[in-house]
Structure 1
Amino acid sequence: MAQLINYQFLCILIFLSLPFSSLSERCHPNDKKVLLKIKESFNNPYHLASWIPDTDCCQWYVVECDRKTNRINEFHLFAANVSGQIPKEIGQLPYLESLTFHKITNLTGNIPASIIKLTKLKRLTVSWTNISGPIPSFLSQLENLTSLDLSFNNFSGSIPSSLSQLRNLDGIRLDRNKLTGSIPESLGNMNPSFQYLYLSHNELSGTIPRGWGDLNFALIELNRNKLQGDISLLLGKNKTIQILDLSRNMFQFDISNMEFPDSLTSLDLNHNMITGSLPQGLTQLRMYGFNVSYNRLCGPIPQGGSLQNFQYTEYFHNRCLCGAPLPDCK
């Protein structure tokens, strides 16, 4: 009996002497190895202080593990005091579905080509950084992407036409960069569920793709570019667009007979070269945002709906627009 007790006591001692992490750790050893290389590439920043080798990487800050596979499937680095380039080792996390680098001003260089190894990636965000160079055309190989956000960076050059190959995208954000050239016609061939597009604050020129007339956007922001031509194909009674901002471009068209969808809640056309008179159909809309200032409009502002809820500054600096909230027509 005494021997049995001693044996059980010995087993308990052996159990207690085992490292706790070896009994509870979920993290895949390959993922841990890659993450530690990424930490080293960033010169072991304080933001990644929880990345300690003898602890479970599924508990580390910045990353998440999938509950079924126990593989790293999310990597979100926000507002971190790190510097350098995106480590090429990021492409060695094959189960990643969501990848974010956001508000990291000391992040420079380019997006590494190794990212195309992330065949499961659905959401890619590189925003508010100093990443520069052209937007890589190889991003089109990330076939499972549903969201692409490359806003507030220093990307230059043209928009890759190959982005139209991303058939699962719900939307794209390329705003607040230094992009030039025209919007590729291929972007008019996006999938029918494509909902939103942010291209504002760039230096884009030319006309909008004709294929956009066949899409039903919810939101488009093209403001502060050098775009021109007619945008009537974006509107019409059968459309579902809610927010449309085309301000500070060189669009030139007659708005007089244009029809607007009932879904439209915000329309900003200021600082263009739009002619004609405001259509009566605008009074049927319930809008919280509206601006047609600095154009070439004439005639009375239609009375009714939301149009008189806006300030005179949303209407002024037109050729001969009149009526409330502007001075009365003569």
Structure 2
Amino acid sequence: MRKWTVAAVVVAVVAAGIAAVVVFRPEDDAPTTTSAAPSATSRPVHPGVYVVKVDNAPAARPQTGLASADVVYVEPVEGGLTRFAAVYSTPPEVVGPVRSARETDLDLLARYGSPVLAYSGSAPALKSLLERSGLVRAPADDTPAAYFRDDNRAAPHNLYVRPNALPTPAAGPEQTTPTGPAPAQGRPETTWQVTYPGTRFDLAWRDGWAISADGTPLRTTEKGEITTTNVVIQHVETRAGVAIEDASGSPSPVVVTVGSGAAEVLRDGQAFEDVTWSRPTPADQTRFTAGGADLPLAPGPTWVFLVTS
């Protein structure tokens, strides 16, 4: 088993879309109300996507709708905790619990064009950046009819969204990365661990990568235990952001997803190391290469963990 430990306040699942169809908060002050054809001079366009910011605190588990995501990004937030950005080409009926947007989302999600972003709220300092971004903002305050509270859970871990009640996303850029048979340079691997200051993820290969969080299988209310076809561990840097998020005044780390760095890819019960990720601009999807050639993923859902070395 390989183990990666993420230093201090950092971690997060990041990556650009992946897989065949893989398309690929003041915090939580939400209300309590229950293809265009490509041209020769433009990139191919595809149906737009929804992105939902999902809580990963222990009190938020089991989540709803995560197993239906095409891509899940694990993002670091203040206090060494993590949250999810779940990307959907065809969203389920309900997703949640929903939490706040982060500055990391601005560059991370730009590769989808103008996705609809569902979130509970955002820090005041971040609001203007969100308004100037290409994201279609759909917070709970602006679209209250799409959100509801589950009275069986304690706030703030009880806010849910019905994505089909949100604005319809516009067509976006091509959302897939290369898929195909596994290259020859992989080695057999059935377990892997990614450790953040506040959360530990254990991965086990069982005809798919089963995901556990803090020693317990990660489950969704509608589909049971979560498994994914591909796992990407993307090594990144972080920078300070504009928003102060926690009570002690600690800034929420901003994951740098534009540039290049090292990565590992898990698929088909194999580990591919010495992988390089690169993303020249926010509009580009992330490219993964090994030995100078593109490293394809297996068709299916993908979880991307952005970690600091």
TM-score range, shorter chain: under 0.3
Structure holding more strand per residue: 2
Larger Rg: 1
Structure holding more helix per residue: 1
The alignment's TM-score, normalised by the length of structure 2, stands at 0.21
The alignment's TM-score, normalised by the length of structure 1, stands at 0.20
